[in-house]
Structure 1
């Protein structure tokens, strides 16, 4: 069976299961090359199957020797035309590698927004995971969420607020540079986006875990945010996504109060711009990234998700190089925000057009490769093998 990369617009539809497996191994090798660091040994990661969540899990397991629980909603293979999702294979590859090293790597494939999922995880912690967790990482990314109490389903919108935004965008399927328009959101769309992508579910998870008494004394919970810069503020920080991130700040304060009696802490981590399935569909963001990546690569500061997350936990949260802002948020995005980096990125972006956006002037090829890696394509060290659909179906989850 041959695997073919298939992109519709900027959304990946195809998957290479063997490539996904190799990509996970590549990330594990990167973490191991950095050596061991001290961090919690019992970790729950909500949204663990790709990008930030997967990278966090790999870093903590193979860098700090942590047992991990991963929660994600993925789909397995049904036929040669429907091979499932990349996250399905990432979870399998991670579990196999972790168990070879004697680590616990439990995967829950479920709707993390539901009460049932929370209870299932709590029961596992109590009965099979030692009874407590030391670190809870919330890294869930979804465009839809069903409220577990009302049953109402909400859909998020990536839109501007106030005035529409007009600017350059890229269609990777057609390799096309064009001028795009982002319409302003309605009040309902803003509220729905906050409902889906804000901090409400994070707070519900922490309340459930606290009430079940499965949080250790001094527990830490982290949630990844992105604030961006003036170059992307009109469509990110100043748009619906920015409102959702602001809600996470509010919920962090609530969680800090909730955890006060066990000396726990909720930490917002403002991450840098990286290539994810989500970032590829944010209007205009690819243009920003191909300029930023070019500048940061030349400065030696560009990071993939595994590089970024490993630095966050190894050097900042459990190391001696933390950087906080006035709001108490951890700021590993300081390399992106460097004034020279931003000035050079803006200068480069202003020069882009349909004739030069994908040449050596930018990091388009780098962004495309990192995007492809998310689905198991263009993976370093990958060796093509023949495998049948029945063999894929037999992979133990």
Structure 2
């Protein structure tokens, strides 16, 4: 039975999926990396949260740029019915694995709750028995709003909220294409703590501890977690909100992991990335409007990046290159392009002029943002030729 492919939206959430469009999108990202050439990097990589966005881009870059064998841990199901074709990440994992194995690389997909002890045990067993025994790079790139603590069994939910006082600002409804004023209420102490529990650095350290105690980390191992600090324009709802508290927690745990890795001469680094289009960026209050302004300014300056472009620069030029930039806290700062004072001044001036009449026109980066947003689920993909596919064909794919 041929499935019907539709780009369905609910507010700022894209719920439809185009599997073969995702295959083309993965191929496009691989081609981008290959076009930049190869570089000397790690050879045995674990990506925790490798099915989409920065995690997927990291896996693609390290495999096709540095020739690395990779393991990805992610949670997301495949097709259930002709009307429920599953999650984009499930297909991304499969199409990445197919492309990597075609070039002789190991590409293991572990489909499990990355917060669980079972996932950690499964990965360690694979490293010991089928991956050469050690990993030399670990990427932590989980994006989840829910976490069950494996030690207590208690489940926590994050909350994207302000802290202290409400925040009022402009937002857009992507589905209805409407521009409106939103009020973001302040979080309770419990909501702040829960957000840190879900999105902070605790699980990153649990992973690194489990890997270290199992003796599957190489000497000199490196690990990174992706963070975002943003600028004055968005600090009231991001860096000074619950999300910022979670990011600060990652800084704290980076220091602890560095102490843990000292005997191995390892390094844990918080990488402060730039604003890009992800499923999260579309639902964070006010953030889409910030992107509409920022992307326009950065695109005009020739500096706008998609996740694969940004990650390629991080690995090729900074982590394994000679152009690393750090701040006083020891965080790597590839977000310097976004935070350039001239870029921020122009973005602020543009955002102040955005309204209902112009937010979805060429006055902003609406077309860029929506193109990248649709790409996340396999729609509006460059080079994609419509390909009929049956439910049976999709259900037969192996993760």
Return the TM-score normalized by structure 2. 0.99
Partner of 1:258: 260
Partner of 2:164: 162
- Does residue 317 (structure 1) correspond to residue 323 (structure 2)? The answer is no
Partner of 1:382: 384
Partner-residue secondary structure (3-state), 1:259: helix
Superposition deviation, residue 60 in structure 1: 0.3
Partner of 1:171: 173
Partner-residue secondary structure (3-state), 1:387: coil
Partner-residue secondary structure (3-state), 2:328: coil
Partner of 2:16: 14
Aligned equivalents of 2:280, 2:325: Cα separation in 1: 26
Partner of 1:32: 34
Partner-residue secondary structure (3-state), 1:289: helix
Superposition deviation, residue 137 in structure 1: 0.3
After TM superposition, list the pairs within 5 Å mapping 1:141-160 onto structure 2.
141-160=143-162
Deviations 1:117-147 (A, max 9, x none): 1011000000000000000000001000000
Superposition deviation, residue 395 in structure 1: 1.3
Deviations 1:201-260 (A, max 9, x none): 000000000000000000000000000000000000000000000000000000000000
Question: Of 353, 359, 362, which aligns to 1:360?
Answer: 362
- Does residue 215 (structure 1) correspond to residue 223 (structure 2)? The answer is no
Aligned equivalents of 1:109, 1:12: Cα separation in 2: 22
Aligned equivalents of 1:149, 1:22: Cα separation in 2: 40
After TM superposition, list the pairs within 5 Å mapping 1:1-397 onto structure 2.
1-397=3-399
Superposition deviation, residue 374 in structure 1: 0.2
Deviations 1:4-26 (A, max 9, x none): 00110101110000001100000
Aligned equivalents of 2:110, 2:282: Cα separation in 1: 26
Aligned equivalents of 1:369, 1:182: Cα separation in 2: 27
Q: How many corresponding residue pairs?
A: 397
Aligned equivalents of 2:165, 2:396: Cα separation in 1: 52
Superposition deviation, residue 386 in structure 1: 1.2
Q: Stretches of 4+ moved more than 3 A in 1?
A: none
Deviations 1:103-124 (A, max 9, x none): 0000000000001110110000
Aligned equivalents of 1:387, 1:371: Cα separation in 2: 23
Deviations 1:88-107 (A, max 9, x none): 00000000000000000000
Aligned equivalents of 2:387, 2:223: Cα separation in 1: 40
Aligned equivalents of 1:49, 1:287: Cα separation in 2: 26
Superposition deviation, residue 268 in structure 1: 0.4
Superposition deviation, residue 2 in structure 1: 2.7
Aligned equivalents of 1:395, 1:117: Cα separation in 2: 22
Partner-residue secondary structure (3-state), 1:22: helix
Partner-residue secondary structure (3-state), 2:279: coil
Aligned equivalents of 2:367, 2:247: Cα separation in 1: 30
Unpaired segments ≥5 residues, structure 2: none
Superposition deviation, residue 51 in structure 1: 0.3
Partner-residue secondary structure (3-state), 1:134: strand
Partner-residue secondary structure (3-state), 1:390: helix
Aligned equivalents of 2:315, 2:376: Cα separation in 1: 22
Aligned equivalents of 2:179, 2:123: Cα separation in 1: 45
Superposition deviation, residue 365 in structure 1: 1.2
Aligned equivalents of 1:190, 1:326: Cα separation in 2: 26
Aligned equivalents of 1:242, 1:351: Cα separation in 2: 27
Aligned equivalents of 2:333, 2:129: Cα separation in 1: 36
